């Protein structure tokens, strides 16, 4: 059984028909990448899965449960984490408080500490900055915090929206290395990226979105070799 299945999902912003019948699957253990140009509907797909918006039509099932009418906090509790575009950290709270907020339903303080330690092991930079306000972190550090915070709920599936956005190449590599490491440790990943070359270098499979529809789906290796994908998204002519 797939971990995540979208069947004919439609979403609107007012009259704007942003998703026009998305059907896709994510299998346990996979890294699946969504690629497409600006406005194709990638972020909207993640927002619709995480309950930030509800589809007007279609089904979304996660781990065998229908989630398309659930609220975001219930979906997080079911094991589906979302690191949104722009990171969504709390700028006025410290790094430690941001991480604690990530574990909002975990009552056991030992578990909260263990998970915080794990996040700081992945990103040692965060440990040095536990008392610093989130808003004063660099862009790369904020991305690290956003990922570490989403791990506080121990998700089975983690959705990442443009984790490389605005980061220097060395930090992009670090973030992608961590995404790969998390996947090796058993976290299934759904990755939205403008940096399609990087995304397809770590993904198992990918979907190409255009105008709210999936126009292509294949293994990452085949997508990298596909001429139209190379021209449109990989900067290869
Ligand atoms: P980008 O990489 O630029 O974020 P994307 O593929 O993630 O692109 P979406 O953000 O999902 O694209 O946008 C899909 C469509 O929905 C676009 O036409 C966009 O203009 C529209 N849209 C997105 N957010 C809103 C909003 N809050 N209100 C109205 N329309 C929106």
Q: Structural domain boundaries of the chain?
A: 4-233
Ligand 1 closest atom vs CA 14: 29
Higher pLDDT, 86 or 34: 34
Tens-digit pLDDT profile for residues 200-213: 999 999 999 999 99
pLDDT at residue 129, rounded to an integer: 94
Q: Kindly give the distance from the C-alpha atom of residue 13 to the centroid of ligand 1, in angstroms, as a whole number.
A: 9
Give, for ligand 1, the residue of 9, 14, 15, 39 to mutate: max count of ligand atoms closer than 8 Å to Cβ: 39
CA angle at 166 for the pair 33 and 176, rounded to the nearest 5°: 40
Ligand 1 environment, Cβ below 6 A: 13, 16, 18, 36, 38-44, 194
Tens-digit pLDDT profile for residues 104-119: 888 899 999 999 999 9
pLDDT at residue 81, rounded to an integer: 95
- For 160-164, what is the mean pLDDT? 93
Question: Of 143, 133, 149, whose CA–CA distance to 100 is shortest?
Answer: 149
Give, for ligand 1, the residue of 9, 14, 18 to mutate: max count of ligand atoms closer than 8 Å to Cβ: 18
Tens-digit pLDDT profile for residues 9-64: 999 999 999 999 999 999 999 999 999 988 999 999 999 999 999 999 999 999 99
Ligand 1 closest atom vs CA 47: 11
Q: Kindly give the distance from the C-alpha atom of residue 114 to the centroid of ligand 1, in angstroms, as a whole number.
A: 37
pLDDT at residue 141, rounded to an integer: 92
Q: Kindly give the distance from the C-alpha atom of residue 232 to the centroid of ligand 1, in angstroms, as a whole number.
A: 19
Q: Which residues contact 135 (CB under 8 A, 6 or more apart)?
A: 89, 91, 92
pLDDT at residue 100, rounded to an integer: 93
pLDDT at residue 166, rounded to an integer: 84
For the record, the structure tokens of 128 come out as 């040095």
DSSP conformation letters of 54-102 = --SEEEEEETTEE-TTS-HHHHHHTTEEEE-TT----TTSBHHHHHHHH
Rounded Cα distance between 67 and 114, Å, is 29
Class of domain 4-233: alpha beta
Dihedral sign computed on CA atoms, order 39, 230, 180, 183: positive
CA angle at 99 for the pair 168 and 193, rounded to the nearest 5°: 35
Tens-digit pLDDT profile for residues 212-222: 999 999 999 99
For the record, the structure tokens of 50 come out as 């995480």
Question: Of 205, 179, 148, whose CA–CA distance to 25 is shortest?
Answer: 205
Ligand 1 closest atom vs CA 212: 14
pLDDT at residue 46, rounded to an integer: 98
pLDDT at residue 231, rounded to an integer: 85
Q: Kindly give the distance from the C-alpha atom of residue 161 to the centroid of ligand 1, in angstroms, as a whole number.
A: 13
Q: Is the pLDDT confidence value at 237 over 80?
A: no
Rounded Cα distance between 44 and 34, Å, is 11
Ligand 1 closest atom vs CA 161: 7
pTM above 0.85, yes or no: yes
């Amino acid at each position: 059984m797939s971990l995540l299945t979208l069947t004919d999902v439609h979403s609107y912003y007012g009259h704007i028909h942003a998703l026009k019948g998305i059907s896709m699957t994510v299998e346990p253990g996979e890294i699946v990448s969504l690629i497409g140009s600006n406005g194709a509907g990638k972020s909207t797909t993640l927002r619709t899965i995480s309950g930030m918006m509800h589809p007007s039509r279609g089904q979304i099932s996660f781990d065998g449960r229908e989630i398309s009418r659930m609220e975001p906090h219930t979906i997080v509790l079911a094991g589906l984490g979302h690191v949104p575009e722009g990171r969504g950290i709390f700028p006025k709270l410290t790094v430690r408080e941001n991480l604690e907020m990530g574990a909002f339903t975990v009552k056991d303080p030992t578990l909260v500490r263990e998970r915080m330690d794990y996040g700081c092991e992945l990103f040692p930079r965060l440990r040095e900055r536990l008392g610093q306000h989130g808003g004063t972190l660099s862009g790369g550090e904020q991305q690290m915090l956003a990922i570490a915070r989403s791990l506080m709920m121990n998700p089975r599936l983690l959705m990442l929206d443009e984790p490389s956005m605005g980061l220097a190449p060395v930090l992009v590599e670090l973030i992608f290395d961590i995404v790969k490491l998390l996947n090796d440790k058993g976290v299934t990943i759904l990755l939205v990226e403008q940096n399609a070359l990087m995304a397809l270098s770590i993904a198992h499979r990918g979907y190409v979105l255009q105008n709210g529809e999936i126009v292509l789906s294949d293994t990452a290796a085949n997508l990298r070799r596909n001429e139209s994908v190379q021209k449109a998204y990989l900067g290869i002519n």
